[in-house]
Amino acid sequence: MSDLERLQKVIAHAGVASRRKAEDLIVQGKVTVNGKVVKELGTKVSPNDKVEVEGVPIAKEPPVYYLFYKPRGVISSVKDDKGRKVVTDYFPEVEERIFPIGRLDYDTSGVLLLTNDGDFANLLMHPSYQIDKVYVAKTKGIPSTEQLKSFKKGINVDGDRLKAVHAKVISTDQKKNTAIVQLILHEGKNRQVRKMFEAIGVPVDKLKREKYGFITVEGMNAGDIRPLKPHEVKQLRELADKNVK
């Protein structure tokens, strides 16, 4: 998961000590994670881990929630070994340790939520969280009605059954042999939309996530961010509570 952070960074962020001092505290055996002493500097922790310094729990950051209109050409991660642009590069002013809830491919644009609230992220990413994720794909080729029907039944790709809740052609360009197709998914498997179209021999040229539940990027430009409103967070949580058993 992309919400893991190095222990010394987490301690420093909580305002307990500088990064250097935090490293000393770890090596000296003064830091516990979930009740166990950890002396390893490379140890990574998630927001759900309980970190204590000399027996005192570190303060939790207040939870924050953002909507990001992810442009194409950005990685859904907090860092990249190859130095490519990552989503958190768009949040230079945000001090909290935010991470993306799920991911969009490097070349996919659209709605992406970010938070530092691990519980909230886990809730939304739970497989039984049946929220509509609406994708619009520009395809090279025009899918047939039968092919779109097969999406709704579910198709097997590499031993995985991939399913759409809804699939419809919005428009076609017969001359260029392209189509604009809307797909609604409840699942969020890796590269799911691209794999489904590849499986029927109609590859995706461009892909955008237009909606995540009731959240859209309407009125925003690619690269824009905005905090989610408290009622939006509440509603997303309520939707999840209803479905996650």
Which residues here bind ligand URA, judged by CB under 6 A? 104-105, 108, 191-194, 207
Q: Of 16 and 87, which CB lies nearer to ligand URA in the complex structure?
A: 87
Within 13 Å and on the Cβ side, how many CA atoms surround 42?
Answer: 0
Q: Of 31 and 183, which CB lies nearer to ligand URA in the complex structure?
A: 183
Q: Which residue has the tokens 């039968």?
A: 146
DSSP state string for 27-73 = HTT-EEETTEE---TT-EE-TTS-EEETTEEPPPPPP-EEEEEEPSS
Q: Which of these is catalytic: 89, 105, 119, 224?
A: 105
- What is the three-class DSSP state of 225? strand
CB of 105: closest distance to ligand URA in angstroms? 4
CB of 107: closest distance to ligand URA in angstroms? 8
Q: Of 23 and 105, which CB lies nearer to ligand URA in the complex structure?
A: 105
CB of 72: closest distance to ligand URA in angstroms? 10
- Residue 241 annotated in active site: no
- What is the set of active-site residues? 105
